[in-house]
Structure 1
Amino acid sequence: MSLISLSPLYFSALTAYLLGWPGYGLLLRLGVIDKPNARSSHGVPTVRGGGVSIIATILCAITLWLCIETGAGSQKTILAAVGGAVLVLAGVSFMDDLRSVGARLRFGCHAAAALAVLLTAGIPRTAFGGNLGLVVTAGLALVGFLWVAGHTNAFNFMDGINGLAAGQAVITGLATAGLAWAVGLTPDHPIIWLALITAGAAAGFFPHNFPRARMFMGDVSSAPLGFLLAVLGWWLACEAGWWLLLPVGLIHANFVLDTGFTLVRRILRGERWHEPHREHFYQRLVRSGRSHADVTLRELALQSINAGVVIYAVKAGGGWVLLAAVLVAAVWIGFFLYAERGFRASKA
């Protein structure tokens, strides 16, 4: 991609960064403060909800695209639905930042947003026909729903230390654009455009949150970002082929696997899985004595390398994607075992 084709990345980064300053002042005046407790990973009161600058940037960009672009057809419909869903999720999530919102309402909104995407973006096409084709299509519809709704929650759960969620959004946004480019989509395609906008907006917020956090992203941004990144991957599979679901999953593997393993562990212990906690592997690393910056940089470095491997594998074709899947899974499982061993050693 040329520097010009990356212009959405630059403009959204600058916009989100600049919006962060007045956003901080407004949230401070409103008293939207995250106070430390036994289930948090920070030690001082910090402004929460600063990620509103990310969402404002993304929604303004989508609105501008819808007003300017002509003749986009179904792509315009999908983008309008995505923008509407992001707005609703951000609204409900901001209410949760201001005062706790019931889990049923939050998860209900996540489910409704996922269904809206399936109804507009559709289901990835397959070569199967007849009854088998119907079964496969139904299965993919279920996968799509679980993927979008589940990743919305997973991303929200993983926003717990300085810079991790924002950095993840930058890398996975860029990786999604890279996958789209690798399968032949042009830089002006709305998937690549929106992926760059998302990555740029998260990058603009990053300096406000890392290495020391002036403000936290908050649910107002973490839930919509998780939704948006999942939607971009699903939309890409609908456009270019169902087999891309594997590479898409691989570029999100660290958040998905960390959330999945932690969720299973909490359920087996009989704990309330949807309540805040400090049991994720990245949180265990912090609890073992490592700084937020150390843990974030380690995980983002691995994520960057893995994303590059996946893009290369998709571009190379053949069995490279399966090889990349084995490699990525091994890297993250190894990282989690490293985190677990460090945590247990610190408690010995």
Structure 2
Amino acid sequence: MIIPLVFLLLTTVSFLLVRWLIFWLQRSQIFDVPNDRSSHSVPTPRGGGLAIVVLTLLVVLVYAFINKNWLQCSVFIMMGGIVAWLGWQDDVHSLSPKIRFLVQIIIAILTIIFFDYFHFLTIPLIGEVKVGWVGIPLTIFWIVGLTNAYNFMDGMDGFAGGQALLIAAGWIWISSNGGALPNQLAFWIGIAIAASTLGFLPHNWSPASIFMGDVGSTFLGYSFAVLPLLSLPDGGVPVLVGVVLLWAIILDTGVTFARRALKHENVLAAHRSHLYQRWLIGGVKSVHVNLIYYGFVLLAVILLWGWFQKLTIFPALIVIGLPLLWIGLLLLTGKWEHGHKD
């Protein structure tokens, strides 16, 4: 009974806190001013993700006091807090990308010093693959990459928040006492993120009254990167869970990054080349784009369920099916865009 009550309390507090943030950010003149890349047309307060950050870190702090898990909790609070602070500074002052990346790399290094790194990976159809010392740069890349990937994907009303709610729900299911990877800290982080984003979403749904901002999106990216380390520090199955739950975000960011690099474009510069942005430019309604990406997360949960149940076809669907689905979407989108130009 206590868990539903805590979830309801966090959701309510988040809703009220975001409502207050709208007022405070407007008074402080902290706005996202629309430009030619924006999906909004009027200046909108940004920084609503502060509610998600504050409530998640508060839940972890309470968990630390109750369970005496000081090391993991204090590291998560400090590193996650620094990531959020850096994002907040970028929301207010627009930091240099080089400074952001440098600090994020330092945070990733400190994180693996305390949480360890991925010593092996679990790949469906193949099994466990030991990566040895390669796991160190791989884990740093995972943390920094996912922190930024989630930030890059926060470009539409309800987009990052809705996916965060579903991804966190996936972690709640997997890390619960009856789940495949029971872990109480990961479970409560999932509860905190899911509840706080649920309270945030009514204010962020189109037309949004407030945006999440880098303070929220980078914190969510960092949190989702660290959850596999909390579940099983040396890698394995939790890494697979993290990758599958975020498969659409990872592929969208990775493919877009590669395409821009091959075209010799500045990969750090703002753009509208992500698949979801191409759909929006082509005239697909934002609510439909949101529902499709929410569906990607739900598909991931179904595939993980099948894999945990050891159903024969599901490993192939994860390793082969998801990339083929993305390739198909890219080809169809390219053909559709070409038809629009004609």
| TM-score, L = length of structure 1 | 0.88
Aligned residues of 1:32 and 1:48 also touching (Cα < 8 A) = yes
Query: What is the number of equivalent residue pairs in this alignment?
Result: 333
What is the distance in 2 between the residues matched to 1:279 and 1:343? 12
- Deviation digits for residues 245-277 of structure 1 (CA, Å, limit 9, x no counterpart): 223211111001000010011111111111111
Residues 25-44 of structure 1 aligned to structure 2 (within 5 Å)? 25-44=23-42
Write the distance in 1 (CA, Å) between the matches of 2:315 and 2:174: 12
Which residue of 73, 83, 103 maps to 1:79? 73
Q: Distance in 2 between matches of 1:165 and 1:117?
A: 24
Residue aligning to 1:88: 82
After TM superposition, the structure 1 = structure 2 runs for residues 165-314 of structure 1, keeping only pairs within 5 Å, are 165-181=160-176, 182-185=179-182, 189-238=184-233, 242-314=236-308
> What is the root-mean-square deviation in Å for CA atoms of aligned residues?
2.3
State the match for 1:14 in structure 2.
Answer: 12
**What's the secondary structure of 2:233's corresponding residue?**
helix
1:72-113 alpha-carbon deviations (Å, 9 max, x no partner) = 3xxx31221111111111112111111210112111121122
Deviation of the 1:205 alpha carbon: 0.8
Q: Structure 1's 52 and 238: CA in aligned 2 closer, same or farther, altered over 3 A?
A: same
Unpaired runs of 5+ residues, structure 1, are 128-134
| Structure 2 gaps, min length 5 | 122-129
Rounded Cα–Cα distance in structure 1 between residues aligned with 2:326 and 2:11 = 29
Which of 53, 60, 67 in structure 1 is aligned with 2:58? 60
How many Å separate the matches in 2 of 1:4 and 1:337? Answer: 48
Aligned sequence identity (%): 27
> Whole-Å Cα distance in 2 between the matches of residues 42 and 151 of structure 1?
25
Check whether the contact 1:286–1:292 (CA below 8 A) recurs between aligned residues: yes
SS at match of 2:131: helix
Q: Matches of 1:343 and 1:207 in 2, distance apart?
A: 32
Normalising by structure 2, what TM-score? 0.90
Shift of 1:195: 1.5
Equivalent residues of 2:143, 2:222 under 8 A apart = yes
Give how far 1:142 is off. 2.0
Contact 2:143/2:225 (<8 A) preserved: yes
* Residue among 67, 70, 75 paired with 1:69: 67
